[in-house]
Structure 1
Amino acid sequence: MYPAPPPQAYQHKGVPVSAPPENFYDMYPAPPQARLSLWSTGLCHCMDDPGNCIITAICPCITFGQIADIVDKGSCPCLLSGTAYALSCAVGLGCLYSCFYRSKMRSQFDLNEGPFPDCLVHFCCEPCALCQEHRELKNRGFDMGIGWEANMERQRRGVMGNPVMGAPAFPGGMMR
């Protein structure tokens, strides 16, 4: 965490001593914490993905299920997560349940929390928070419609989400 004290003899006010001064570690600032990355889109950029915005407005449990499937790495299927979210919304605890997944996702991808805590974001702007999380996963290369397992299969085969089109390949190289 801190640099090791120098191996040579220490001097305190010009007099050699056998141990570092008590304030040796105070002379060095604490190492910077791991830099957290920013979200790829803002909380209110719902119109960057209008299809998901409409689905989230009509049935947020679909969007939540897709997010939870990826964040849980396939351990809890989309349908089960979406149903649990719908039931938690029915008893008024939907924002608490989805807040947990936002925090888990931020931890997995080292994302900045932002100016407001996750629970406050979900309590005040639940649909926008879900859309932002969905966009973030999509922008990180996940195909949100196929789930964790299919995304991992694509990755194993070398097929990445959001492919960038390059120049066409010619067999045997270019010929003149």
Structure 2
Amino acid sequence: MYPAPPPQAYHSYGVAAVPSPVPPANCQPMHPPPHGGLTRWSTGLFHCLDDPGNCVITCLCPCITFGQIADIVDRGSCSCVEGGMAYGLLCLTGLACLYSCFYRSKMRGQYDLEDGPVPDCLVHFCCETCALCQEYRELKSRGFDLGIGWNANMDRQKRGVMGNIVVGAPAIPGGMIR
């Protein structure tokens, strides 16, 4: 058999990708970043007392917290009410932890969050309310107001409003007045 040809970089010149024997200038060696390039969660799984109000709501009615998380993670395609109702119905069958596990995994992927010592499904199966509280706190620490949903958060971001703080220069009245 013949030896395999060396790997080639592909450059696009507007029409089609053309193989190039020379790697691009920005090509970096394939070394994994330290710690896999993942970021740590802002709080631990059992730090529920960091936000006692959310802890109480999640313990009494986890479908509310889940709906808020789902709205942000799905970027508005699944409303808080829809996500909460689906979660509530799945609670009746005992499959809610699998549904919420899917959102935890999706959230970890979106924000490059490290996985824990146990798989996401096991975290949700054993500690459902703690997992939901941790996800809520993580999104909150990233600047989201989970009470208003994805669309209102994006509207605030477009206007430069972060929580109660207005970002940017103050408005200046037009024209000079003497």
Alignment correspondent of 1:88: 90
Equivalent of residue 58 in structure 1, options 57, 60, 69: 60
Alignment correspondent of 2:130: 128
Higher Cα Rg, which structure? 1
For residue 147 of structure 2, what is the amino acid of its counterpart? G
**1:115 aligned onto 2:117:** yes
Q: Structure 1 unaligned runs (5+)? A: 5-28, 172-176
For residue 72 of structure 2, what is the amino acid of its counterpart? I
Q: Secondary structure at the match of 2:84?
A: helix
Equivalent of residue 72 in structure 2, options 70, 88, 99: 70
Aligned-pair CA distance for 1:30: 4.5
**Count of equivalent residues:** 140
**1:32 aligned onto 2:32:** yes
Aligned-pair CA distance for 1:130: 0.1
Percent identity (aligned): 71
Aligned-pair CA distance for 1:56: 0.2
Question: 1:141–1:162: 8 Å Cα contact kept in structure 2?
Answer: no
Alignment correspondent of 1:101: 103
Counterparts of 2:62 and 2:151 in 1: how far apart (Å)?
A: 22
Question: 2:160–2:166: 8 Å Cα contact kept in structure 1?
Answer: no
Counterparts of 1:56 and 1:98 in 2: how far apart (Å)?
A: 13
Deviation per CA, 1:3-51, whole angstroms, max 9, x where unpaired?
A: x9xxxxxxxxxxxxxxxxxxxxxxxx85114510000000000000000
Distance change (3 Å), C-alpha of 1:164 and 1:54: farther
Alignment correspondent of 1:140: 142
Q: Structure 2 unaligned runs (5+)? A: 1-6, 8-28, 173-178
* Poorly superposed stretches of 4+, deviation over 3 Å: 161-165
For residue 71 of structure 2, what is the amino acid of its counterpart? D
For residue 31 of structure 1, what is the amino acid of its counterpart? H
Aligned-pair CA distance for 1:160: 1.4
For residue 81 of structure 2, what is the amino acid of its counterpart? L
Question: 1:66–1:144: 8 Å Cα contact kept in structure 2?
Answer: yes
Aligned-pair CA distance for 1:161: 3.2
**1:159 aligned onto 2:155:** no
Aligned-pair CA distance for 1:147: 0.2
Counterparts of 1:66 and 1:31 in 2: how far apart (Å)?
A: 38
Q: Give the TM-score normalised by the residue count of structure 2.
A: 0.74
Deviation per CA, 1:115-159, whole angstroms, max 9, x where unpaired?
A: 111000000000000000000000000001000000000000001
